[in-house]
Amino acid sequence: MKNVVTNVIPYSIAEEIGIEVNDILLSVNGEKVTDIIDYRFLTADEELVLEMEKSSGEIWEYEIEKDYGEELGLEFGGGIMDKAKRCSNKCMFCFIDQNPKGMRETLYFKDDDSRLSFLQGNFVTLTNMKDEDIDRIIRYRISPINISVHTTNPELRVKMLGNRFAGQVFDRMKRLAEAGIEMHCQIVLIPEVNNRDELKRTINDLYSLHPSVANIAVVPIGITKFREGLVKVKTFDKELAREELEMVIELQEKFMKEIGDPFIRMSDEFYIVSGIDVPEEDFYKGYEQIEDGVGMIRCFREAINYGVQNLRKDISGTFTIATGKLAFNEVFNGAKKIMGANENIRIDVFEIINHFYGESITVTGLLTGKDIISQLKGRIKSEYLIMSSNMFRKGYELAPADYIMLDDVRVEDIEKELGVKVLVVDHTGEDLIDIINDVCQEEK
């Protein structure tokens, strides 16, 4: 049932006036509440009348006076008080369509929900929306919103997304820009599809909507070995990645002169594959696109450079780090720097090949437990195994502290199979030195 109260925050307004778990919220100031966006918008006012259905079936009204924007202290099941809207696109680059059979059900769900974009940072295509949905974003000031653009060429976007309504994205974005909605954009780049001149067109179109379009992140298509029945596409090799980067760098230099910001940033994979070093830290503007893999290498380097200064010199310990092929050299160099600061610390770094999805998938975040176990069994000679947090997913069906990998392998499974204590560190490396300091023993 929708709008069921699952938690009442202690000492909150809701607890004070007597709202209880399992009460059902029916309306706020006479307006029905359909989801969390309605709830947040309608309860922001200073004077409220809440209509609640008690577990007895009685309907109670609560009159509330509070500060504007003050939280009531109610939590509801499912996060958005409603089912997430399922994506109806058939994108040629969709990673979910490249999952093998037999994985947990939530890994096959494709959402395209502006509410999740606002609340959790998910990307939406704007394709699976009606005009009234756009009106609602504007009315409720759902901002910022993350949009998967991929191309502003209407005909090409229809082809890429496999949806005849996909070509209207730029018109909808113009409406949102006129209303002052902030947008963050993502482009999945595919060789000979939406790169080169098509990418340049898309960048310039989106730049015309700046500052409402705040930035663009570009990521390369990922190809697994499970693409049966899907359109054949190419991936980026060194030459193609370098060509794309050089074109974008010219545009970045132009934008820097005009707005003081690169506006478009390429994910780290383009730099690593092309052999071009990643930009300096100030280029990434606080790493606001790091979840797209933009700036992770630079962030890791800076975290190690800063953190190693705080590495205790009176400790010793042994560690193994498991990482994907793409980040191996960077992690290896970081480990060398740590060991150089304390010769009593030993860190072995292992490159894990992704046999589960195929060797073309090289990012650490898509490694599976079975690959880690099979490739490290009998090879670990340390007290601890360090794993990045982005190897684990905290699905909505799991408890907050319950780490699970893509193939349902858990931390305790890895510890049992490999006979080693697992330490999960932030994928940026920010807490790596602190964790080493905490678990190591003092030198006698």
Residue ranges of domains in the chain, CATH in brackets: 5-76 (2.30.42.10), 96-293 (3.80.30.10), 300-442 (3.40.50)
- Of 91-95, 181-185, 370-374, 426-430, least confident by mean pLDDT is 91-95
pLDDT at 319 over 90: yes
- What confidence tens digit (pLDDT) does each residue in 344-379 have? 999 999 999 999 999 999 999 999 999 999 999 999
What is the distance between the alpha carbons of residues 215 and 222, in angstroms, rounded to a whole number? Answer: 22
What is the distance between the alpha carbons of residues 27 and 24, in angstroms, rounded to a whole number? Answer: 9
Q: What does the pLDDT read at residue 155? A: 97
pLDDT band at 400 (very low <50, low <70, confident <90, very high): very low
- What confidence tens digit (pLDDT) does each residue in 415-435 have? 999 999 999 999 888 999 999
Q: SS3 for 211?
A: coil
Q: Residues 49, 50, 51, 52: what is their CA dihedral angle, to the nearest 10 degrees?
A: -150
- What confidence tens digit (pLDDT) does each residue in 212-246 have? 999 999 999 999 998 888 889 999 999 999 999 99
pLDDT band at 113 (very low <50, low <70, confident <90, very high): very low
Residues near 379 by beta carbon (within 8 Å), at least 6 away in sequence: 350
Residue 272 contacts residue 295 (beta carbons within 8 Å):
no
Report cis status (omega within 30 of 0) of the bond before 191.
no
Give the mean pLDDT of the chain.
88
Tell me what the mean pLDDT of segment 126-137 comes to: 83
- For residue 49, the surrounding DSSP H or E stretch is strand 47-53
